Amino acid sequence: MNIEDYHGVWVFLEHKSGSIVPVSLELLGAGRRLADKRGVSLAGILIGDGVKPLAEHAIAYGADCVYVYDAPIFKYYRTESYMKAIIAGCQKYKPEIFLYGGTSTGKDLASAVATDLATGLTADTTMLDVDAETGLLEASRPAFGGNIMATILCKKDRPQMATVRPKVVKALEPDYSRAGEIMEEPVELREEEIRTKVLDIVRFAVQRIRLDEADIIVAGGKGLGGKAGFEMIREFANTIGASVGASRDAVEAGWIEHHAQVGQTGVTVTPKIYFAIGISGAIQHLVGMQNSGLIIAINQDPNASIFQACHYGIVGDAFQIVPLLTQAFQQALGK
Ligand code: FAD
């Protein structure tokens, strides 16, 4: 492999229900910065059935060019078909850096592409930079239980790939006057070449607001002592219109579903207000919520680490404080 042959930054443009997902727009912002630092172009790759109209949004959010693989074979996400389109694009255009959102689709796809292209992939990145001279992508992520940040380099192979957590980088303000190129790529893939067949799509009605999109989160930890403690904070959350989050220890105790876990191995959140109730403030939890606008902690241990990370701290028993807060908000809001 001649590394000098590889140029440009690419972003996989994941889409859902006819829109590019937020993390892909965020990555166009991050990719723009990397591409400008390197003096190269930023491209998006869009795969799907009837997705070409989305390309103009990617240009507005910072792409110079969008490669579109638009065909019925891409109607549903399947690892094999999407992977083959990406590999065709990489072999033809040789990008030096390739970014994916850290969603279930992005993680699935990136690992398949990295394996097939025999290149390096840094998973779950929380910070990105590039060395302008060498072109080495500096992909940083928590390592060794979150105690250090490791910056991972891929020196010998291209493209240098990373999946990036949602909400750790910012999207640019869209500018629909930006000019860019939309390249319709040929699709030679045949259905017989794809082993996975989608027989049916079963949709579940999801009532809750996704944690990574919530403006207010009330999160509980081991200090809540059990499911009853979570009922208590759920009542508070419902009163103030918040979503409920949790520490890993509370999830592992079976007090709340896994999707509520905030932190290194859970969701990264940046709500306007984050209540941490009965949570000690371990680094693995903090990395998932420390960028929240306002952090309010309730803990009975005045030396708990969460008090180093919060804006307001209440030292005391959650079982006394939370019902008082619920009552006060119910009165104030006339509920
Ligand atoms: P504890 O540390 O047990 O803290 C409970 C707190 O509740 C204490 O501070 C106590 O003073 C307080 N308390 C007790 N009773 C009351 C009361 N009545 N009122 C008020 N306060 C009270 N953790 C995560 O959260 N998310 C992750 O994604 C995550 N990933 C991890 C990945 C790895 C590789 C590893 C090794 C660990 C990970 N952890 C994660 C676990 C993390 O290290 C901590 O163990 C965990 O966050 C602790 O959860 P906690 O704060 O609920 O429990």
Protein residue with its CA nearest to atom 20 in ligand 1: 299
Give the percent of the chain with pLDDT over 90.
Answer: 88
ipTM of the complex: 0.99
12 and 102 share one domain: yes
275 and 168 share one domain: no
What average pLDDT score do residues 198-214 get?
76
282 is in an annotated binding site: yes
Q: What is the DSSP string of 164-179?
A: E-TTSSPPPPP-TT--
Give the domain extent around 281.
216-334
With CA atoms as reference, report the closest residue to 86 among 171, 25, 27, 159: 159
Confirm if 27 and 34 have CB atoms less than 8 A apart: no
Confirm if 213 and 166 have CB atoms less than 8 A apart: no
Residues with CB under 6 A from ligand 1: 145, 221-223, 247-250, 261-266, 278-280, 282, 284-285, 288, 298-301, 304, 317-319
281 and 161 share one domain: no
| 275 membership: H or E segment, kind and range | strand 273-277
On whether residue 204 sits in a domain, the answer given is no
Residue pLDDT, tens place only, 160-178: 999 998 888 999 999 999 9
For residue 284, report the distance from its CA to the centre of ligand 1, in Å: 9
Q: How many independent structural domains does the chain possess? A: 2
183 and 285 share one domain: no
CA 101 to CA 11: how far, in whole Å?
9
Burial 18-56 (b: 16+ CB within 10 A, else e): eebbbbbbbbbbbbbbbbeebebbbbbbbbbeebeebbb
- pLDDT score recorded for residue 205: 56
Confirm if 15 and 54 have CB atoms less than 8 A apart: yes
Say whether pLDDT at 207 is over 60. Answer: no
Residue pLDDT, tens place only, 83-133: 999 999 999 999 999 999 999 899 999 999 999 999 999 999 999 999 999
- Domain containing 262 — which CATH number? 3.40.50.1220
With CA atoms as reference, report the closest residue to 11 among 3, 23, 2: 23
Tell whether omega for the bond before 186 is within 30 degrees of 0, i.e. cis: no
Q: In terms of DSSP bridges, do strands 181-184 and 42-48 run parallel, antiparallel, or are they unpaired? A: unpaired
- pLDDT score recorded for residue 147: 73
